[in-house]
Structure 1
Amino acid sequence: MHLFFTDVRTVRKADVVPGLSASEASDVLARFAPVPGTPVLLSESMWPVEPLCTWFRELALDRRSPKTMRAYAYTTSMLLRFLQARGLDLASASEADIQDFRRWRLDEAERTIGEAAWDRDGAAIGCLYKFLLRQGLVERRPWRAATRRRRTLSSGTRRDLRVRHMELEQYLYCRDVGFGGLAPDGGLDHGFRGWRPHRNRAACELALLTGMRIQEWSTLLLPELGLLDAPRPRAAEVELGACAKGGHHRSIYVPGDAMELLDPYLLLERPEIVAKAQRTLRRDHRDLFVITRLEADGAKVRGVLEGRTVTRSIRGMDPRLRRMAVRETGDGLDPLALFIGPGGRMLTTSGWDRARWAAWKRMKTAAATGGMGSQVPHRCWLFHDLRHTFALRLLIYLTRLALGDGRAQQLPMVTLLDHMNGNPLLQVQRRLGHASPATTYRYIRYLKDPMRDVDEAFRAWTAAAGASYADIARTTMILGDADAAQG
């Protein structure tokens, strides 16, 4: 079997389908695979493998992201191969077969996976069998319902939130030395040979001061921040939509400090990138979304996409469409994306990863020569660490503010309504876009180390009683035995 992922633009460019023009071939593909990146599984004789191909099409119609569809396709195609090696198919598989596949993935495959990755595999298999049930292709799922003592496909492992946050000195070292190419003392590093330090520093500041995920801040467009207006706003408010996690809309406040750090990039680096990219953009203009005007105060764009004049809501544009969006200025094509790379295209996640690793190497080198080792962690920073830092700092500030308001009112307790409106956890949850308060609640443990309180409590006890930890443990055991004898 062969797994492919559709791309209408590639088909249009190729023009090699016998008996069909490029536009006719792309129309046929668009009907079969309505979303770019839709998986297609073909047999050795190049026929679609059913019912998986129909299921992939349903995932595309349900607006699943290409990333999710790709992961589901790899998992289910592996499951199908595993079953076929046993002379089975999806309809004839038993619970034992599914559990054997799980054990193979975890322990016996050439490249094994962990419990967290298996839970994603289990979600894909569960979604597939829901589809098979709806289509009447199976009478029931090949596994029993979950109980308190027995799990279904999931591992049952509860994974704690790993929070890696930065102190102020660490953040400045990362932003200015790693990404900005400055020397550890804040001066110019004349040996710096990095690329676009103003862009990278501005991206760090934007990620930190807004708490956005990388797929959210890296796909921002100029009109969303009001950067096509004159004069430019000091602060901005962005309505996230299709690029937010799960497509859950929320409002993001971009403070003045983040906007101010964008200016050197917008005035110095970005025009140079756009000028160098004009030849590439003009060559690929048929594959771009060429915007002719903004509508509804910058909330919508109108332009030519795939030969048709269309109007699109900016909030509803997915990352793929945002990467294609360019504005016809009369002097050339200007990408609508805020952060761009070579060729004038929006920088992808892999592009940002390359910038991150380059910054990490600079940080380690500068720390080794400048005695700044305390500012460099044992593992490379992730852009998501900036989101964790935002959450923790905001939670600390709002908690102190709430305590201060309670003291100022000189009340034994605030009213329930005031508590609900000013609850720091709920405010941080809204800012981060967490679907459940339980996710935000996990940040609390990082506000103060509880083990430090335990140490302090036992230290006071041992100082008063003159006992060691061993003495305390021995006494506790003796008391326990005495209680047991009395019982």
Structure 2
Amino acid sequence: MSELDWRVVYTRRDLPRPQTADPLIDTLWDLDEWLDKHSISNGRPFLISPDGRYDTDLNRFFDTVLNTSPVDTQRAYASDLKLWLTFLWVSRGRKDWRDATPEDRAAYKQWRTTDPRGPHVDWTTWDREVATVNQFYIWAASPKRRLVEENPILQRENRAPEHHRRGRSTTPAEASHQGAAKDVKWLTPRMYRMWRDVGLRGYTPEGLPDPSFRGRFASRNATYADLMIRTGLRLCEQTSLSVFEVPSEVPGTLNARTWIPHVIAKYGSARHIYIPSSALKEVWEYMEMERLDAIDYAREQGLYERVRNPLVIADRRRPLVTVDGRRLTVDQLGHEERQRLFIDTPDGLEPAALWLSESGMPSGRSCWQQVFKTANGRCGRHGVRDTAHPHKLRHSYAVITLEQLWRGHIQELAALNPGQRQTYQMVFGDPLNWVRMRLGHRSTVTTQRYLHTLQELAMETRLALIPDSWEPTGVHPTDLTEPTPSQEDIA
């Protein structure tokens, strides 16, 4: 990071107290109390200028518009705004964001996308960045605030369908509209198993144990990834699961249903999810082995006694805690509260969080992002081309599930007359809407991107069936295209 860059800093509790006898510092230093009083959670971003200034007007954006947004969304907005502010500081003579003009924005676009000295970001990245800065200036220019005279982002009429506009009549004119919005990256089950076994479990591509593998908690990491690709949960949602959201194993049940409460579901998208019995079995094995080992270690080290303001459940059969004088159930507790949620047991305190680090403390999103990064690096060293990240596993769940549901749906409808088909649709519903609910999407418009992927997959399969006589002698169509996943591979 250059000394001329704006900085993104995050709120954090339990910071060490400065070693000073200054009584003023002692008076002002109870930052934890101040954060609690203003209901500011850990990890809230704010921006600091290169000369060390804290701009109150600028940072109020995170306290108002983004106050209830997921942590990952807040971090993404802070990162995009930092790039814009740094450009104004470095390349436009330390210009204040309040004075930015359309000419500044045009210069920024040229530097980000086409300037030989610039980063040459792809159009998808640029569209996200311009949308972030545009939303910030819409907020700053609103009649309630009037922090700027004009929005430097040129606008045009929003031509998107009305149900997809989210209430906006205009959209950034400088957006490229060329980003690969429908290009969904996903893995077939066969590709996923190779990535998981090599990257997380420490096997070679040939399926043999790799003696050089030094990873710990390999079984935990593989179980976490298996649950994600089989349920479509987001990273923030799965990481915040508690043991109370893990259903019991029932012999003969193929899929166990559980509830994702709105306080940990992104955008409040509370919903039921279905956990396949094989994935649920792995979760329980992790809970009864690696998780208990981590808890024993933490107890021996006295780590749980050091947690500030723990929320303790006295009876796990009645998971209730008291917060600010209110009796709350676990499904009313958000991400931060779940990090300090414990269960009082005869053996001592135990975290209510399902996913624990090696030290026995609740794991965070950054922990799992590092797990995926390490696994991708290991796969690369072993010649495995496929990579994965949490959202790619979510895409994989959506594409595979939708394909399977549509295949069965169409087979059932094929033998019915129009009247019977209508009744069938009324009883069993629409596969697209079912997947929408499992993913927590607000509208099927978002889920429809996966239909585009299925259409591409079907067309690629048909292209591979072009008669040999259409090609030069000795050349087969499959020699000219990338391998296409077969129906057996998807199933």
Q: TM-score, normalised by structure 2?
A: 0.75
Residue type at the aligned position of 2:13: R
Counterpart check, 1:113 vs 2:134: no
For each residue in 1:105-153, what CA deviation from the matched residue of structure 2 results, as whole angstroms up to 9, or x when unmatched?
3345665533323323223322222232231233442344304899524
What is aligned with 1:433?
440
State which of 367, 387, 390 in structure 1 corresponds to 2:394.
387
Instruction: Assess if the C-alpha contact under 8 Å between 2:184 and 2:395 holds in 1.
Output: yes
Counterpart check, 1:49 vs 2:58: no
Q: Which moved more, 1:106-115 or 1:131-140?
A: 106-115
Q: Which moved more, 1:312-321 or 1:387-396?
A: 312-321
Which residues of structure 2 form unaligned runs of 5+? 160-170, 472-491
CA distance in 2, matches of 1:355, 1:144: 41
What is aligned with 2:175?
154
What is aligned with 1:225?
246
Residue type at the aligned position of 1:406: L
Instruction: Assess if the C-alpha contact under 8 Å between 2:312 and 2:321 holds in 1.
Output: yes
What is aligned with 1:469?
none
CA distance in 2, matches of 1:280, 1:288: 19
1:280-299, aligned counterparts within 5 Å?
Answer: 280=301, 282=303, 285-287=306-308, 289-293=310-314
1:292-371, aligned counterparts within 5 Å?
Answer: 292-293=313-314, 301-302=320-321, 311-360=327-376
Instruction: Assess if the C-alpha contact under 8 Å between 2:41 and 2:336 holds in 1.
Output: no
State which of 58, 69, 77 in structure 1 corresponds to 2:74.
69
Counterpart check, 1:137 vs 2:147: yes
Instruction: Assess if the C-alpha contact under 8 Å between 1:240 and 1:252 holds in 2.
Output: no
CA distance in 2, matches of 1:330, 1:98: 62
Aligned length: 447
Shift of 1:95: 1.7
CA distance in 2, matches of 1:185, 1:156: 43
Identity of paired residues, percent?
Answer: 24
For each residue in 1:443-482, what CA deviation from the matched residue of structure 2 results, as whole angstroms up to 9, or x when unmatched?
234444314435646x49969xxxxxxxxxxxxxxxxxxx
Shift of 1:8: 5.0
Higher Cα radius of gyration: 1
State which of 97, 103, 106 in structure 2 corresponds to 1:96.
103
Instruction: Assess if the C-alpha contact under 8 Å between 2:101 and 2:152 holds in 1.
Output: yes
Counterpart check, 1:211 vs 2:232: yes
CA distance in 1, matches of 2:405, 2:250: 34
What is aligned with 1:481?
none
User: CA 1:113/1:334 → structure 2, altered by over 3 Å: closer, same or farther?
Assistant: same
Q: Secondary structure in 1 aligned to 2:450?
A: helix
User: CA 1:24/1:169 → structure 2, altered by over 3 Å: closer, same or farther?
Assistant: closer
CA distance in 2, matches of 1:310, 1:409: 55
User: CA 1:286/1:412 → structure 2, altered by over 3 Å: closer, same or farther?
Assistant: closer
State which of 425, 449, 456 in structure 1 corresponds to 2:458.
449
User: CA 1:163/1:100 → structure 2, altered by over 3 Å: closer, same or farther?
Assistant: closer
User: CA 1:104/1:25 → structure 2, altered by over 3 Å: closer, same or farther?
Assistant: same
For each residue in 1:372-396, what CA deviation from the matched residue of structure 2 results, as whole angstroms up to 9, or x when unmatched?
xxxx4x2323343433332233223
Shift of 1:52: 1.0
Q: Secondary structure in 2 aligned to 1:209?
A: helix
Q: Secondary structure in 2 aligned to 1:263?
A: helix
CA distance in 2, matches of 1:451, 1:190: 40
Which residues of structure 1 form unaligned runs of 5+? 369-375, 464-487
